Structure 1
Amino acid sequence: MTGEIAPLFVRWSLPHWAALGIVALAAGGILWGCRRLRMESRLLVGKVLGSFFLLTFLMETFGRIVREHWEPWQDRLPLHFCSLMALVCFIALWFRTPWACAVAYFGVLTASVQGLITPMLHDGFPSAAFFVFFIGHGLLLISALYLPAVLQWRARPWDDMRALGL
């Protein structure tokens, strides 16, 4: 595609609904399939998923610094909520620490899901930004649900308030 401009993203359009449907089907399929595995295999799948988050977090952070050198320094910081959730999901899936599991679960289900429903995208389907956004946010949702549904993590009393405080 030389010189072509990607169409603008339109919320609640057919591509948006299709992306949400694909995320829902993928989440259901992955969670259902992984629940049928032995715990050792479940842990391994979780670590592979967590490794993906660490890799994307590092690529996004360094990529933003390299690509967007003309923007103010505040825009180059990796302080986007979903970027931080990717890092927390890595910690939760690799180390299964209670605080990381709670923050990943409650953080993703409150904010990253909202991003799927009401994305702030400029370019629509079939742009790379469209695919990166829905794949990344869809995997965050899968990870948040993977913790209780597959790895059998359970929230402790006040975990929701601790996650909110953090």
Structure 2
Amino acid sequence: MDFEMFSAAHFGALAILVAAIICIIVFRKRMRVPRINRMVRIGLAILLICCEVSLQLSYIRNDNWGVGSLPFQLCSLMLLVSAVVLLWNPKSLYDALFFLGSMGALQALLTPNLDEAFPHFRFFQFFIAHIGIVSAALFIVVVERYRPTFSSVVKAQLWLHVFAIPAAITNVASGKTNFMFLAEKPGTASLLDMLGPWPWYLLQLELIAFVIFLLLYAAVRLLDRLIFVKPSSSAQ
């Protein structure tokens, strides 16, 4: 069966996303306890790493591994960044994880570029990985009290271009891949369908990404007002 957007299975996956968000917010103080904090970090990191490893193994098992299997899609890169942040906590990557991870994973969850439907392995791998990325991005905000500034928005825009470099080089070198949808729009329905043709939609995406980053920045400020989380100076 082909994946059907906004089907019962799709809504079920989105319900799990909402449940994960609620749990992180509700149990944020408990997750700051050192022992529990470490367990959550390691557990989520292992889950994300297993998602990528299992995907690569599925390509190999089905004799389908190729240059297109490289983890150069934005969400694949953010999955790796999420695992690094959760395991080693480099605050230099907080801007990339929060802004790029949230933007990419949320868009993917709402309009999945997915062919396989429930209960195919790829269905579970796709939604677990993307929900994990959103959870990691929310974790550093709610639990670790990361607070972005306007300069964080600019840094996120720069990070977007940094991550696009290997994707663009591979697209040009192979002539077959479409990492980060730099070569063409995805074959399945997405927000990119409302934009102009290639290459003009890439320029439009620059502006859209910046606006989304600003909205995420505003969302954190709103979150502070709603759940009264005080930022820590070390998380700036």
What TM-score results when the alignment is normalised by the length of structure 1? 0.82
Q: Does 1:24 align with 2:18?
A: yes
Q: What displacement does 1:68 show?
A: 6.1
Question: What are structure 2's unaligned runs of at least 5 residues?
Answer: 160-236
User: Which residue pairs with 1:50 in the alignment?
Assistant: 45
Q: Deviations over 1:68-119 (max 9, x none)?
A: 6556x43132212111111101121122222211111101111111000000
User: Which residue pairs with 2:84 in the alignment?
Assistant: 91
95-104 or 142-151: bigger deviation: 95-104
Distance (Å, rounded) in 1 between the aligned partners of 2:69 and 2:121 = 20
Distance change in 2, residues 1:58/1:22 (3 Å) = closer
Distance (Å, rounded) in 1 between the aligned partners of 2:63 and 2:73 = 17
Q: Identity of aligned pairs, percent?
A: 26
Distance (Å, rounded) in 1 between the aligned partners of 2:10 and 2:32 = 35
What TM-score results when the alignment is normalised by the length of structure 2? 0.60
Distance (Å, rounded) in 1 between the aligned partners of 2:139 and 2:32 = 14
51-60 or 93-102: bigger deviation: 51-60
CA radius of gyration, larger in: 2
For 1:56-95, list aligned pairs within 5 A.
56-61=51-56, 63=57, 66-67=60-61, 69=63, 73-95=66-88
Q: Name which of 97, 101, 106 aligns with 1:104.
A: 97
Distance (Å, rounded) in 2 between the aligned partners of 1:130 and 1:55 = 15
Q: What displacement does 1:49 show?
A: 1.3
Distance (Å, rounded) in 1 between the aligned partners of 2:142 and 2:110 = 22
User: Which residue pairs with 2:219 in the alignment?
Assistant: none
User: Which residue pairs with 1:36 in the alignment?
Assistant: 30
User: Which residue pairs with 2:145 in the alignment?
Assistant: 152
Say which SS state the counterpart of residue 4 (structure 2) adopts.
Answer: coil
Q: Name which of 116, 120, 131 aligns with 2:124.
A: 131
Say which SS state the counterpart of residue 152 (structure 1) adopts.
Answer: coil
Contact 2:55 2:125 in 1 (8 A): no
Distance change in 2, residues 1:25/1:143 (3 Å) = same
User: Which residue pairs with 1:141 in the alignment?
Assistant: 134
The AA in structure 2 aligned to 1:120 is: N
Question: What are structure 1's unaligned runs of at least 5 residues?
Answer: 1-6
Moved over 6 A (4+): none
The AA in structure 2 aligned to 1:66 is: I
Total equivalences in the alignment: 158
RMSD of aligned residue pairs (Cα, Å): 2.2
User: Which residue pairs with 1:3 in the alignment?
Assistant: none
The AA in structure 2 aligned to 1:9 is: F
Say which SS state the counterpart of residue 27 (structure 2) adopts.
Answer: helix
Q: Deviations over 1:103-158 (max 9, x none)?
A: 11101111111000000111212222212111111111111101110111222441
Distance change in 2, residues 1:28/1:69 (3 Å) = same
User: Which residue pairs with 1:4 in the alignment?
Assistant: none
